Amino acid sequence: MLAFFYIYLIYLILRSPIKWLEKTCSCKLDKLDLSNIEVDEDIPVYQQCLDDDDRSWTLKEEDLLRSYGLQTLLDCEY
């Protein structure tokens, strides 16, 4: 309980400077212009970027996870 009290006390002391910093940064983020950034759309998906060794490792991991009932890859990617 003493540790939680100290954590809460630190929160109470630092919450006003953190709120001030958040307000200061959010004003600068509003002025940020992202219209001149070009996006490269020709990037292949992650599975197509892997070499044969890494692809086989990924498939082995997926087989193990699916044996436990978990799925990390879509069926079309698998």
How many Cα atoms within 13 Å fall on the side-chain side of residue 7? 4
Can you read off the two tokens belonging to residue 18?
Answer: 């953190």
Does residue 27 form part of some domain?
A: yes
Q: How far apart are CA 46 and CA 42, in angstroms?
A: 12
What pLDDT sits at residue 63?
Answer: 94
pLDDT digits (tens, 9 = 90+) for 33-72: 777 888 777 878 777 888 899 989 989 999 999 999 999 8
Does residue 50 form part of some domain?
A: yes
Does residue 18 form part of some domain?
A: yes
Does residue 39 form part of some domain?
A: no
From residue 17, give the alpha-carbon distance in Å to each of 6, 27, 40: 18, 16, 39
Counted domains in the chain: 1
**Structural domain of residue 61, as residue ranges?**
2-31+44-67
Over the chain, what is the mean pLDDT?
85
Are residues 46 and 72 in contact, defined by beta-carbon separation less than 8 angstroms? no
Does residue 22 form part of some domain?
A: yes
pLDDT surpasses 90 at 30 = no
pLDDT band at 20 (very low <50, low <70, confident <90, very high): confident
